[in-house]
Amino acid sequence: MTTGTLSKLSAAIEVVTGVLLIASPGLVARILLSAPLADPGVAVGRLCGVALLSLGLACWPNASATTAQATRALFTYNLLAAFYLGYLRVGAGFVSYLLWPACVLHALLAALLARPFYETCRHE
């Protein structure tokens, strides 16, 4: 799988998640964490949705190449998201049928982006 394809896949996931968080943060919280959101959580959820939408759009590869900055951003986000989602399941005790799959998806994307990330760091 090419870096462009990986970047497009990861960016698309973030764009979709961002749109869902903007539209219905409570629904995303119920599906991902099996927990309701209070009003402040809804506001923060929507703000996170805006951030994920922005990340996805900023990292979307153009026709010629994926930028080093986009590769770094997507690798970092996916790595940290995988760790945090794993922590929520193991350390914080959240239980949901989508929490482990989301954790594994982010870990897989981080693993696949690790080599392009390393190569961009090595060439600068």
Burial 5-27 (b: 16+ CB within 10 A, else e): ebbbebbebbbebbebbbebbbe
Q: Which two tokens stand for residue 70?
A: 């986009």
For residue 29, give both structure tokens.
Answer: 């919280």
- pLDDT tens for 89-122 read 999 988 888 999 999 999 999 999 999 888 877 7
Q: How many structural domains are present in the chain?
A: 1
In this prediction, what percent of the chain has a pLDDT beyond 70?
98
Q: How far apart are CA 6 and CA 14, in angstroms?
A: 12
| pTM (2 d.p.) | 0.88
Which pLDDT band holds residue 124 (cuts at 50, 70, 90)? low
